[in-house]
Structure 1
Amino acid sequence: MQAATYDLEARHPGWPTRLGPIRVPAGAVALRPIRLRDAGDWSRIRLRDQNHLERWEPTAPGPWRDRNSYWSWPPQWFALRGLARRGQCLPFVITVDEQYAGQITIGNVIRASLRSAWVGYWVSSTVVAGGVATAAVALVVDHAFGPGGLHRIEATVRPENEPSIRVLTKAGFRQEGLFQRYLDVAGDWRDHLCFATTAEETGPGLVARLIAAGRAEYV
């Protein structure tokens, strides 16, 4: 029994795989594993959407253009793929009608008796308010609680980020509290709200909830 448990933890459950699609107002949303050849789409969208993304993302050294250039993607892809192969994260690309539209990651996976992780995401400015982020969160959380073998997923968001708060609440997350001066974002230490959900709370699944509420439909 001990050997079987060790083997399960040593693998990378839940990755790589493809999830979806489900249809929302913006189009058919699906998730697929990150790829090295995503560099062009990743860089193009992030450079274009600097004003849309930078104010919500953790502070990092160097200019935005340098950090999001075509050549910045390969080392990020390599690092994320390595973590995924060790079972420490589940990194996916979000597509809308089969076109690159953002990223979503289940990160900091801790197994053993805790079985928890966080979810983080960003989407292109062209699909904001189209239900894409909510659909992506629902797809990845259902997968994390199923094949991913996790029990709890949390997300942190700045109180000013009302669109992201709506994404999490529509997807079925509940607010747990406030982390004061939690993360360095846009050059200062920012408070973040903590949202979370557990496997027991999702019932038939977050995707099923979205569909029952009329927010999405199966393709």
Structure 2
Amino acid sequence: MSDQPSLSRVRLGPVVLHGATVLLRPPRIADHEQWRRIRLRDRSLIEPFWSSSPLEWHERHTAKLWVRECLAGRDEARAGRRLAMVVEVDGRFAGQAELISIDTATGSAELGVWVDSEVARHGIGGLAVALLLDFGFGPIGLQRITAPISPANAATASGAARLGFRREAVMTRYFDAGGARSDHELWALTAAMVPPGGFAADWVHSHRADRSTPLPLPPTAERTGPPVATGSVIASAARYYAGRVLHMVDPLRASCVPTLDDRDRPRVVLRKRRLADGRQWRAARLRARAALDPNGEAPPSTWVDAHSRARWLREVLRARPGLRSTAGLVLAIEVDGAYAGECRLFDLDMFDRNARMFVWTDPALGDAADRVRTAATRLLVTYAFDALGLCRIATAIEPQDRDAAAVAARVGMVREGRMSRFVGATGRRADHDLWAVTVPDDTASHRT
């Protein structure tokens, strides 16, 4: 991110649509009153698609929680992981739009937006998304942006399609919204789909052709309460940063990496990686890479460099254990006491319920490779659901990798769709099939 502007200071626009000026800017503490007023008024439109919570709707829109949201957005923006913006129409707060889970290594991010119902039918939400897309594919350099959309949210799906998003998959029980985990459609855009003049220009042009009447502005809102007091801001900030400290010692960031084994298959063990594994790791990775290249092409020099023994040493010494770490939870697969591959649980979502998985084994295992990979995958999935409390685990498999698909099917995973130009755990950008398994309904209900 060194060559890119700080995400905490980004402003997008202004752009004029139907006579109204639309601007995206960072959120402010002073936005709380208008944010709360609109969200309470539009509850019936927002809550069915919003993350579930034990709190009542009005309790979720206090000054304390808004301050926490602003602070979290700024921290994530400084780290380059999130671009949280307020949608402003003619100087008035009118919603929020953001890119989250920004990963410049894979060139990916996820998009979310909501807007005031009084401007929603005039293309404002679509324009806000278009501005984010132009910035994501432009200055940030993303290659793929996704949007999970509830099948019941027909208006949002229609707007996504009009922007050029393509529906790739239906993700089973992906998100806990409106009080229960529900399926969501995966919509995606890639850099190759950017219009010649950009998304914002294309959106404005198409809407100018649709309507000629100016956007009706809502009447000036009366104040519903005093501004957020300085003392309240300080107290909320103190609670927020104290919570971040406590978050570092939860089980998902535990420093104690488990050793997992199966009594029915005692030969296969998952354990912490060791420095002594370096030589076997490099040789096994080279064999695994060759197995994925049927044409016998040599791997690029960058891939070889990334799998040097020196790189292994640095990675193991610098690694922070736990699912919340940058690399996620990484365990070595051991068969009869010998290193035989690795499994990785990573990309934990913001609600600590979904994660991705990647398991690979040394092709030198021969006919036993699939059995070992199946056993290791079962151990990891069981640990993720039972010990870590996850509700969904997904993995990306290249279509030609039939062995990996067979393993996924054996452990109960289901193919949900195909993702275009996705960067898998091997580092290659290509089409990948999305496979996933979810925790049983009765188990998940006790965790939400």
Query: Does TM, scored on the shorter chain, surpass 0.5?
Result: yes
1:193 maps to which residue? 185
Separation (CA, whole Å) in 1 of partners of 2:88 and 2:98: 14
SS where residue 151 of structure 2 aligns?
A: coil
Higher relative contact order (CA 8 A, sep 6+): 1
1:8 to 2, 5, 14: 2
Q: Distance in 2 between matches of 1:135 and 1:72?
A: 27
- The answer to whether the Cα contact below 8 Å between 1:12 and 1:85 also exists between their aligned partners in 2 is no
Deviations 1:44-85 (A, max 9, x none): 211222112101111123111111123320011101110001
Give the SS at the match of 2:139.
coil
SS in structure 2 of the partner of residue 150 of structure 1: coil
> Which amino acid counterpart does residue 116 of structure 1 have in structure 2?
S
Write the distance in 2 (CA, Å) between the matches of 1:109 and 1:215.
32
Offset at 1:14?
Answer: 4.4
The Cα shift of 1:172 comes to: 1.7
TM-score (norm 2): 0.44
**Structure 2: how far apart are the matches of 1:83 and 1:214?**
33
Match of 1:193, SS state, is strand
Give how far 1:144 is off: 1.0
**Cα distance in 2 between the residues matched to 1:214 and 1:96:** 16
CA distance in 2: counterparts of 1:61 and 1:26, whole angstroms: 41
Task: Give the corresponding residue for 1:169.
Answer: 161
Larger-gyration structure (1/2): 2
Where 2:2 maps in the other structure, the secondary structure is helix
Offset of 1:142 from its aligned partner?
A: 0.3
Q: Structure 1 190/26 Cα, relative in aligned 2: closer, same or farther at 3 Å?
A: farther
- Residues 95 and 101, structure 1, Cα contact 8 Å, conserved in 2: yes
Match for residue 29 of structure 1 among 14, 17, 22: 22
Query: Where does residue 97 of structure 1 map in the other structure?
Result: 90
Report if aligned partners of 2:7, 2:82 keep a CA contact under 8 Å in 1: no
The C-alpha deviation readout for 1:19-59, integer Å capped at 9, x for no partner, is 12223348322211111221121112112221121011111
C-alpha separation between the residues in 2 aligned to 1:75 and 1:111? 26
> What does 1:68-217 correspond to in 2, within 5 Å?
68-112=61-105, 114-204=106-196, 205-215=198-208
* 1:15 Cα offset (Å): 4.2
| Matched residue count | 209
Contact kept? 1:88, 1:109, Cα under 8 Å: yes
Deviation at 1:215, TM superposition (A): 4.4
Equivalent residue letter for 2:44: N
Which deviates further from its counterpart, 205-214 or 183-192?
A: 205-214
Structure-2 change in CA distance of 1:215 and 1:164 (3 Å)? farther
For structure 1, the residue ranges without an aligned partner over 5 or more in a row are 1-6
Instruction: Flag structure 2 segments of 5+ consecutive residues without an equivalent.
Output: 212-448
Indicate the RMSD between aligned Cα atoms, in angstroms: 2.0
Residue identity in the other structure for 2:78: R
Question: TM-score, length-normalised on structure 1?
Answer: 0.88
> What is the distance in 2 between the residues matched to 1:156 and 1:66?
26
Deviation at 1:132, TM superposition (A): 0.7
Aligned-pair identity (%)? 36
**CA displacement, residues 134-174 of structure 1 (integer Å, 9 cap, x when unaligned):** 10000111011111222111001111101111121122211
CA deviation after TM superposition for structure 1 residue 89, in Å = 0.4
